[in-house]
Structure 1
Amino acid sequence: MSELKQLFNHFVSARYLQKPSKPEDSKDESIDNKIENEMGTIFYSGQYRGTNGFRWDPQQRNVSQLLGLDSDKAAKVLAALGNKQRLDILTAVLQKPLTGPEIVEQLNMGTTGQLYHHTKALLGADLLVQEDRGGKYSIPSHRSLPFLLLLAASSDLLDTSDYIELTETRNNAAAYLGTNQGAHDPHHLLWAVLENSIIEHQAGYCTEINLIIQGELSITVADNGRGIPIQALPNSTKTPVQTVLTELGHYNSSASVVAPGELKGINMAVVNALSYKLSIEVRREGKVFHQTFKHGIPQSELLVTGVTKETGTSVTFMPDQDIFNSSFDKEVLSKHLIGLGISYPKLKINILD
């Protein structure tokens, strides 16, 4: 948190120093005050109507004041809430007060020993109260609204958990590629993208795949399958397209290629993480949808870019040159496609340069 605050202060200071001074600025106004004004102010209020309802009158905090919070104390609060079992306990008792045995049963904790360890910490931190010894647990009224607001803020940051995993994949590329740094083979990424189109062929929908070499560093895999679904699933704001390309543990992990000597499979999310840039085009429901990524992170929403009578999915990606020193080899592609042709005689695969 200290590093984040320093980076933020440095960024704001740099922005302020780049701005021309205004004649009406008071001469005795300190740069610190100007920077504080530049950072802005957070205004908030709210009311939670529930078992432990609580109301906040309108309040405000300067951003500089928030960034000046005691990092050690703030980190302890976040650490207490960041523990999965403690978070589950708080969310459970917020829905309705529960006894210890009820919490153990509802959260499948197995024994009350684990519960005692966590509830003792939460009680001591004033994040939990108990009616009496052996009674029901609940969240103190004055803590319920801040806790819910923290969950609301966290919900807007949930996608960053996927991006953290993608970054870790980039930092640990050898675990997926099975070779030393500087000798990674980009064809493994291509085989993984091809595998998804082949699975669509096995399902009876894809009859043709085109490999389009976009120079030495970039390649496109285009099929005439159904196209990846584009409607967000219930209780989710992410489309299946983005899910496939950003969630390493997605159900589509069966469509993975394992490099020689490695146990971790390469699926579409791994391809996205190890690519400098990737774009996907989906043709279905009479429309053309398009989305772009860089190092696995979305650079746009899934946008409608045209209309079409065709269906299918096209993936264009450029392996990151910081990870891969070699390029796609047409001869290697041809040999691989000969093997696929034998395995799938009804599937037509073309190489277009």
Structure 2
Amino acid sequence: MSDTDRLAALEQRVAHLEQILQSPSGSPATPDADVFWALEGLISRVSDPGGVLFTGHVTLPDGRAARWQEGAGTEELLDGDWSQHVAALAALAHPARIRLLQHVLRGASTAGDLVQIDGMGTSGQVYHHLRQLVAAGWLHAVGAGRYEVPVARIVPLLTTILGARR
């Protein structure tokens, strides 16, 4: 490594340390407060070791609106029993069930509609997946063979999908 490269690397490390020291929390400042406005709000309200927040507002094709916010402290999340959430996560861990949820959110509401989805399988297979989703709380049977995602589950479902994209 040349002296010029070493000096440039050292200057970069010093700049990073200065950024940390200038931040009130002792961690680097958020790169763009306008883009990370929700994160800045969380940082201003939650002390170290921090927390996690998800929030959203959604209006579905059927007109139902979901406005939701949920948060938890880092210690609460790290110390909690994650195994109690396995059934809810496992219900999402099948391509057919994810497709069913997506179609229900987009407006398909009856079992008959859902059976018609290309590649979904037999009506017995569709009903099996619907039962799994209902048991895990991702779907609610509203009568006459109709299903909907409960309003309280819409934003959590979409944030789970968003998180999986990372």
Normalised by the length of structure 2, the TM-score is 0.63
Q: Give matches, 1:92-103, under 5 Å.
A: 92-103=103-114
Supply the AA of the counterpart residue of 1:138. E
Partner residue in 2 for 1:140 = 150
The change in CA–CA distance for 1:65 and 1:107 in structure 2 (over 3 A counts) is farther
Between Structure 1 and Structure 2, whose CA radius of gyration is higher? 1
CA contact (8 A) 1:88 1:107 kept: no
Distance in 1, Cα, partners of 2:121 & 2:51: 46
Supply the AA of the counterpart residue of 2:129. H
Q: Which has the higher contact order (CA 8 A, sep 6+)?
A: 2
Question: Is residue 162 of structure 2 the alignment partner of residue 149 of structure 1?
Answer: no
CA contact (8 A) 1:53 1:145 kept: no
Gaps (5+ residues) in structure 1? 1-36, 157-353
Partner residue in 2 for 1:56 = 68
> 1:122: Cα distance to partner?
1.3
Question: Is residue 112 of structure 2 the alignment partner of residue 75 of structure 1?
Answer: no
Gaps (5+ residues) in structure 2? 1-46
Partner residue in 2 for 1:128 = 139
Distance in 2, Cα, partners of 1:120 & 1:60: 29
The equivalent position to 1:118 in structure 2, one of 105, 110, 129, is: 129
Distance in 1, Cα, partners of 2:128 & 2:71: 36
> 1:54: Cα distance to partner?
1.1
The change in CA–CA distance for 1:140 and 1:107 in structure 2 (over 3 A counts) is farther
> 1:38: Cα distance to partner?
4.5
Supply the AA of the counterpart residue of 2:67. R
Number of residue pairs the alignment of both structures matches:
118
CA contact (8 A) 2:87 2:136 kept: no
CA contact (8 A) 1:80 1:86 kept: yes
Higher strand share: 1
> 1:48: Cα distance to partner?
1.4
Q: CA RMSD in A?
A: 1.9
> 1:73: Cα distance to partner?
1.7
Supply the AA of the counterpart residue of 1:153. G
Supply the AA of the counterpart residue of 2:66. F
Aligned residues: percent identity? 29
Partner residue in 2 for 1:89 = 100
CA contact (8 A) 2:68 2:152 kept: no
SS at match of 1:65: helix
